[in-house]
């Protein structure tokens, strides 16, 4: 029945798009040997089909996008996500422009992960200004509200950042950015009697998360924490980041970047955090850590409309409020700390109306929590198909 | 509904959509403005960015990023129309070397380009497809939902 709903959603999307100016369809086939990113790897394949379409709606533009991801071995984690909204672009003068948008959407998982089903509303405002012809200042502000099927995860957030860059004739670009964010969980704590009941149920394979009892340590995920009551439900972060990019020739570009993030106040109200296939969830996102990340990248424009990107990222993240535990669930004392090395390669070949993308990533994650000492290979092959019609303005 | 049936429906939809679009490319306006994308006037220009500015190009539509480009060999100046929205995510600066493929037209002794493809800073950006239809999906919020996680 849910599959039928997905198909109907896609039909509605495509039918609506039949009067649109720009439609993109994509299909990606993915494979990994460690879907749940733990020391007990599980292989799986994921088929993801998506569409997005835009139509100018003077003076606004309407946009919508939808995506269905099907997991072959863990089909209970399959999901559909959709959002739609309006945006507006305005030039104050020749050097400064404003972008604003509002959107609503949601994500809908299959049964086992359905606690993470959510509806959301978001708004964005951004200003881009050329301080000089070779220097750009950008300011962004975003508001996001998510309402989950399991109300423990309900939250809103504010995120703002300010960046400044400068281009030099040596083909060098320098960029600095400062960001501040605040996330507030509306009601993340349960009465203690409810927690103990849920925790035992989760251990039996139900409750929050997919809970397969792989380790016998934590059958369920994202257990709420009663001990944290009164310590606050808001998490405040700040970060500074920098980037240096160098054009070596017309066909080769190099970039180095780094970010340092601090938790200014608050900590995660949940006792565990885990992610699967790098998909963010309410307890494991940019607000859940402090630390740093350094990355380097190389872009090569190849022959026959090909583009190769190679990248490496090294990060160290502490997770305030999350205790490291042994495989039996006993506390090890300190908060969880991860060190991660990630290598990425991406090859794109552009054809007349579609592009083919092949990408591969290898992640090597070290953690003081033994469950999260893992490595994983991620392979993806897909096609982006652009369909356009109407005027070629 | 079984998995093969689902994919059959999706295949039918995508192919069917493509076919119907190919047969009915949309109504042609009775009078096209002089600045529509004409593939027959495409030219490749290589040079330096001399100026960047935001400018409304079409009535009631979002402003475009306009780049004043000085051709490397001739010194000829072109006003190149880049795109709306996309420019919020990608930065172009004065002094950057750029190769551009675009549709050319002249008006009031000025040369203009409607950009289709940019090569700058070691990267290539395709703003329009080979028929001149816009590819941009810009703005700080668009296109972010796709491929959550590793390629999803």
Task: State the CATH number of the domain containing residue B57.
Answer: 2.40.50.140
Is the pLDDT at A199 greater than 60? The verdict is no
Q: Is residue B90 part of a domain?
A: yes
Is B91 touching A (CB cutoff 8 A)?
Answer: yes
Q: Is residue B113 part of a domain?
A: yes
From chain A, pick out residues whose CB is under 8 angstroms from the CB of B142: 52, 54, 63, 65, 87, 101
The percent helix, strand, coil of chain B (3-state, each to 5) is: 20, 35, 45
Which phi and psi (to 5°) does residue A273 adopt? -135, 140
From chain A, pick out residues whose CB is under 8 angstroms from the CB of B25: 389-390
Min mean pLDDT across A168-172, A204-208, A270-274, A288-292 is at: A204-208
Cβ distance B151 to A134 less than 8 Å, yes or no, reads no
Q: Is residue B150 part of a domain?
A: no
Q: Is residue B60 part of a domain?
A: yes
Residue B97: which of A165, A173, A250 has the nearest Cβ?
A250
Q: Which residue do the tokens 């033994």 mark?
A: A370
Cα R_g (chain A), whole angstroms: 22
Q: Which residue do the tokens 């042994």 mark?
A: A326
Is B97 touching A (CB cutoff 8 A)?
Answer: yes
Total number of domains constituting chain B? 1
**Dihedral angle computed from the Cα positions of residues A341, A311, B148 and A88, in that order, rounded to the nearest 10 degrees:** 130
**pLDDT computed for residue B27 by the predictor:** 36
Min mean pLDDT across A174-178, A217-221, A230-234, B28-32 is at: B28-32
The model's pTM = 0.80
CATH number of this structure's domain A2-388, picked from the four choices 2.40.160.50, 3.30.530.20, 1.20.5.510, 1.10.1740.10: 2.40.160.50
**Helices marked H in chain A — which ranges?**
2-17, 192-203
Is the pLDDT at A359 greater than 90? The verdict is yes
**pLDDT computed for residue A385 by the predictor:** 86
Query: How many Cα neighbours within 13 Å face the side chain of A315?
Result: 22
Cα(A356)–Cα(A378) distance, integer angstroms: 17
Cα(A101)–Cα(A96) distance, integer angstroms: 17
The contacts of residue B40 (CB under 8 Å, 6+ apart) are: none
Q: Is residue B146 part of a domain?
A: no
Size of interface A-B (CB pairs under 8 A): 246
Q: Is residue B78 part of a domain?
A: yes
ipTM above 0.85, yes or no: no
Q: What is the pLDDT of residues B69-93, one digit of tens each?
A: 999 989 999 999 988 777 777 889 9
Give chain A's mean pLDDT.
84
Cα(A13)–Cα(A30) distance, integer angstroms: 24
Is B89 touching A (CB cutoff 8 A)?
Answer: no
**pLDDT computed for residue A6 by the predictor:** 53
pLDDT, average across residues A297-305: 91
Q: What is the pLDDT of residues A44-70, one digit of tens each?
A: 999 999 998 888 777 788 889 999 999
Let me know if B106 is exposed, middle or buried by CB neighbors in 10 A (0-12, 13-18, 19+): exposed
Residue A133: which of B51, B122, B145 has the nearest Cβ?
B51
Is the pLDDT at A373 greater than 60? The verdict is yes
Query: Which residue in chain A has the smallest CA separation from B68?
Result: A133
């Amino acid at each position: 029945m849910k599959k039928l709903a997905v198909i109907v959603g896609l039909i509605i999307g495509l039918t609506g798009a039949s009067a649109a100016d720009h439609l993109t369809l994509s299909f990606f086939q993915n494979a990994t040997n460690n879907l749940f990113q733990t020391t007990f790897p599980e292989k799986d394949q994921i088929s993801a089909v998506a569409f997005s379409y835009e139509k100018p709606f003077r003076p606004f533009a309407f946009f919508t996008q939808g995506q269905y991801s099907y997991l072959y071995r863990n089909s209970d984690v399959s999901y559909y996500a959709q959002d739609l909204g309006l945006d507006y672009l305005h030039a104050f003068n020749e050097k400064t422009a404003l972008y604003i948008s509002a959107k609503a959407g949601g994500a809908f998982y299959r049964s086992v992960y359905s606690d993470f089903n959510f509806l959301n509303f978001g708004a964005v405002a951004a200003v881009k200004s050329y301080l000089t012809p070779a220097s750009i200042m950008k300011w962004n502000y975003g508001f996001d509200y998510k309402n989950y099927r399991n109300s423990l995860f309900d939250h809103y957030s504010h995120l703002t950042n300010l960046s400044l860059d400068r281009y030099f004739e040596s083909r060098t670009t320098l960029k600095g950015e400062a960001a501040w964010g605040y996330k507030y969980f509306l009601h993340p704590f349960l009465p203690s009697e409810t927690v103990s009941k849920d925790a035992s149920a989760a251990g039996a394979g139900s409750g929050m998360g997919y809970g397969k009892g792989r380790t016998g340590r934590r059958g369920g995920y994202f257990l709420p924490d009663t001990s944290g009551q009164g310590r606050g439900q808001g998490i405040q972060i700040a970060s500074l980041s920098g980037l240096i990019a160098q054009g070596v020739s017309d066909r080769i570009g190099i970039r180095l970047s780094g970010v340092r993030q601090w938790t200014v106040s608050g900590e995660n109200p949940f006792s565990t955090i885990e992610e699967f296939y790098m998909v963010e969830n309410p307890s494991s996102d940019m607000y859940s850590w402090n630390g740093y990340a350094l990355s380097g990248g190389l872009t090569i424009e190849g022959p026959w409309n090909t583009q190769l990107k190679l990248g490496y990222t090294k990060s160290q993240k502490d997770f305030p409020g999350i205790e490291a535990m042994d495989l039996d669930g006993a506390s090890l004392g300190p908060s969880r700390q991860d060190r991660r090395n990630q290598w990425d390669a991406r090859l794109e070949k552009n054809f007349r109306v579609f592009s083919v993308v092949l990408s591969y990533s290898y992640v090597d994650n070290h953690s003081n929590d033994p469950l999260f000492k893992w490595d994983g290979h991620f392979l993806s092959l897909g096609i982006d198909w652009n369909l356009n019609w109407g005027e070629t303005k | 509904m079984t998995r093969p049936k689902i994919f059959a429906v999706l295949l039918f939809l995508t192919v069917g959509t493509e076919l119907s679009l190919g047969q009915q490319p949309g109504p042609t306006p009775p009078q096209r403005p002089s600045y529509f994308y004409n593939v027959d006037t495409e030219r490749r220009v290589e040079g330096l960015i001399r100026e960047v500015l935001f400018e409304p190009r079409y009535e009631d539509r979002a402003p475009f990023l306009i780049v004043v480009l000085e051709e490397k060999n001739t010194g000829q100046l072109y006003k190149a129309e880049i795109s709306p929205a996309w420019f919020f995510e990608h930065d172009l600066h004065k002094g950057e070397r750029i190769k551009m493929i675009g549709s050319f037209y002249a008006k009031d002794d000025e040369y203009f380009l409607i950009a289709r493809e940019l090569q700058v800073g070691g990267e290539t950006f395709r703003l329009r497809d080979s028929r001149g239809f816009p590819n941009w999906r810009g703005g700080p919020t668009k296109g972010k939902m796709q491929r959550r996680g590793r390629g999803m």
